[in-house]
Structure 1
């Protein structure tokens, strides 16, 4: 039985309200499956198919000349279609007539900004969340098993070994998307760069050090990071801008949006290997971040997450910005609660005063309830926080 997607309600609502709906996200995140299940009465056309692509390029108006709705999969392959769609929906403004998807978010975003601004609702779909896996009865039994597997749908839908599938995914991503967009000739250098980025998981990004280690210029490293971001593989999380009378670190943190992919790039072999790996805590922190982002995207809301850290190393792993208040979230992969885990939360609360909401600690154990005024959320209950952040 397919694992239900929590984005479904937002997608259907968007199709009732907007002329065009676009679903973006990394390859193999489940975009095609979702849109086809939601819009089964729409004609489905995959522009990766050479025959469809050739027709669309030669005669875009003829290609789109249908009375009913259309799903255009991987529309970034023929971006000129979007300007034709613009003229169609301006003349015939029926909502939800065109559903478009795209994996190369960088190419699709540029085309949309030129042709469909104000006419399209965008949905960002990431791999399965912990809530979706629980809904479908497929949540791994242990934290390390979940982290090493990640959330990409084919692993669960076809019961594939994550280590093998993720290795193939990395190769396919490099060959298809990176070669097409960046025209990189030395793909081995980019693959090495990917591995180095995995090593920076959960850390402040030192662009110069990353570029030096990769053997490329700082400008090249910045460009490559940008492609990883727009591909939906990583996020660069910014420090929160309020000062609170302390000098703040201004460097972003690097988080991976799929823990399984990060583990594969780090060469982590299995759950037992992960349990003793020095990057386990950083991988867990990245995973929590990604789950909270998925919760926002499922509700069609932008990410509202930052971190706080000052020049003497006091920090809170995540801050959820709710406008007039901030929710501080500390993240620890350990299973046994330690008293010093609350230090950063206490310090931030003292500085932020009334702007600080009651803090949260997400951890790798099973303890629930409250301690020292902090709400405790075990890893397997993270969906409750993701639904509310």
Structure 2
């Protein structure tokens, strides 16, 4: 079994918090991780109708039976439990008393903020990061196969073709979450919306354009995007507009948490298709930013991420906060290092001056270099400084 980097951070904070909450995409390995880490804890899934009925109808009796060293999976399915758990942990003052897990972030976080604020340490587990895959020699030398396959653990646990996996993922998880939170009458329309989102990876989000192409209203676009984000399908990267320049854009950029799912939605099914696709650069950029996000959460680093662009179209793909300074990262799918690849980094260095820490180029090749003014990283060697 591949060890997950997040285990260390969880182990540390469960000593000082009575409740640990782990969320993240469905099929990212949450249940496997918790069962392997906490073998002396009882595991109760609230997806199970019998368990859920017991918890809903008799919460006091339920928590009298399961009152300590318990993992409650998909706990958001019984919202009433959170207030009872609050009372128990306030009375017992036992650290690591409950571990809560859920895949629907909107519902989980709503109940946590209402009942367990200050009592819970929050963690997010994403599909495998590169370090985890590399520890078992599962990181391929060419990025094309990684883009298509994605990083969901099930695809590495056993031989499984990607197309049926992602087709089933959409149908069994995404659409189920959607139907529970929204009353959508036309699933086909939503699938069209998903595909249109995939075609906008790395682009500034234009809600009006997306609404017109899908044939829905702007409020519906906002609602559907919110559900995709709460289900860990997509996320939005905000622009940086602190003091670098007064003429900066304010639109977010859209990305998917897993490029394998995005490739499936775009009809890309092979490495050859990636190389011929107009989306190759955007998907590569998406994969690299995903790796930064995964390392950030898996190691408990609490960094913030932005992109930078001014009104003249000058852009840097990623800014990574590091206390009072920033790493600026340019991301290019090319395997050849050319002088023009550094233009954006140099521009931002001149504007930002002392606020810029490192200038990093992440590219599609396999050789990393340390130059006088730049760090050049192969795509599979990304590592945030801890």
Shorter-chain TM-score range: over 0.9
Partner of 2:319: 319
Alignment of 1:84-123 (within 5 A): 84-123=84-123
TM-score, normalised via structure 2 length: 0.97
1:40 aligns with 2:39: yes
Partner of 1:63: 62
Secondary structure of the structure 1 residue equivalent to 2:220: helix
Structure 1, residues 243-266: CA drift from partner, whole Å, max 9, x if none?
A: 424400110111111110111111
1: CA distance, partners of 2:159 / 2:128:
14
Alignment of 1:205-354 (within 5 A): 205-354=205-354
1: CA distance, partners of 2:68 / 2:108:
23
1: CA distance, partners of 2:283 / 2:17:
37
1:72 aligns with 2:72: yes
Moved over 6 A (4+): none
Counterpart contact for 2:303–2:321, Cα < 8 Å: no
Secondary structure of the structure 2 residue equivalent to 1:329: strand
Q: What is the deviation of 1:137?
A: 2.3
Structure 1, residues 14-36: CA drift from partner, whole Å, max 9, x if none?
A: 21110100000111110101111
Which consecutive unaligned segments of at least 5 residues does structure 2 have? Answer: none
State the Cα RMSD in Å: 1.3
Secondary structure of the structure 1 residue equivalent to 2:358: coil
Q: What is the deviation of 1:303?
A: 4.4
2: CA distance, partners of 1:39 / 1:3:
16
Partner of 1:157: 157
Counterpart contact for 1:308–1:318, Cα < 8 Å: yes
Secondary structure of the structure 1 residue equivalent to 2:14: helix
1: CA distance, partners of 2:302 / 2:194:
26
Q: What is the deviation of 1:178?
A: 0.5
Counterpart contact for 2:141–2:366, Cα < 8 Å: no
1: CA distance, partners of 2:194 / 2:232:
14
Q: What is the deviation of 1:161?
A: 1.1
1: CA distance, partners of 2:235 / 2:303:
10
**Larger deviation, residues 44-53 vs 155-164:** 155-164
Counterpart contact for 1:23–1:100, Cα < 8 Å: yes
Counterpart contact for 2:245–2:310, Cα < 8 Å: no
- Structure 1 residues 339 and 372 mapped into 2: Cα distance closer, same or farther (>3 Å)? farther
Secondary structure of the structure 2 residue equivalent to 1:166: helix
Secondary structure of the structure 2 residue equivalent to 1:357: strand
2: CA distance, partners of 1:343 / 1:16:
47
Structure 1, residues 279-304: CA drift from partner, whole Å, max 9, x if none?
A: 01001111111100111101223341
Partner of 1:22: 21
2: CA distance, partners of 1:83 / 1:245:
47
Counterpart contact for 2:68–2:98, Cα < 8 Å: no
Partner of 2:196: 196
Structure 1, residues 328-372: CA drift from partner, whole Å, max 9, x if none?
A: 100000100111110000000011111111200000002321346
Q: What is the deviation of 1:242?
A: 1.7
Aligned residues: 385
Secondary structure of the structure 2 residue equivalent to 1:307: strand
2: CA distance, partners of 1:364 / 1:141:
10
Secondary structure of the structure 2 residue equivalent to 1:227: helix
**Larger deviation, residues 344-353 vs 364-373:** 364-373
Secondary structure of the structure 2 residue equivalent to 1:359: strand
Partner of 1:49: 48
Counterpart contact for 2:28–2:153, Cα < 8 Å: yes
